[in-house]
């Protein structure tokens, strides 16, 4: 982490390096949601698998089912894992795998 900090500080300045370090610590060490998360607005009743495939978050429905089986999709708002691969999208912020976050807003 120190090396990454030094590289960012050298090329982008101390302020940017400090913000990047804080963002990394908050997201991956303290297990919180990053400040900037892509938001998707969707109609009520849409399947979560279709929503993630259409927006390019996961490659296919098979990939989605694999992630669900592995317990790798978590609704961070309610702190629950997605267990139904045919489930309907619920409003909230989702962590997909280790590094992807998305916020779903239902209209």
Residue 62: give the domain boundaries.
38-106
Same domain, 45 and 96: yes
pTM: 0.76
Contact 72, 97 (CB under 8 A): yes
Residue 60, φ and ψ in degrees, nearest 5: -155, 170
Same domain, 17 and 52: no
Same domain, 102 and 74: yes
pLDDT of 22 over the 90 cut = no
Same domain, 4 and 53: no
Q: What is the tally of structural domains in the chain?
A: 2
Mean pLDDT of 31-48: 85
Res 95: pLDDT: 93
């Amino acid at each position: 982490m120190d090396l990454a900090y030094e590289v960012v500080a050298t090329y982008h300045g101390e302020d940017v390096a400090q913000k990047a370090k804080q963002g990394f610590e908050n997201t991956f060490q303290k297990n919180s949601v990053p400040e900037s998360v892509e938001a998707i607005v969707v109609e009520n009743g849409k399947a979560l698998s279709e929503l993630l495939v259409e927006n390019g978050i996961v490659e296919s429905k098979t990939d989605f089912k694999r992630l669900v089986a592995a317990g790798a999709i978590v609704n961070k708002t309610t702190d629950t894992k997605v267990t139904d691969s045919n489930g309907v999208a619920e409003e909230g912020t989702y962590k997909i795998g280790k590094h992807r976050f998305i916020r779903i807003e239902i209209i």
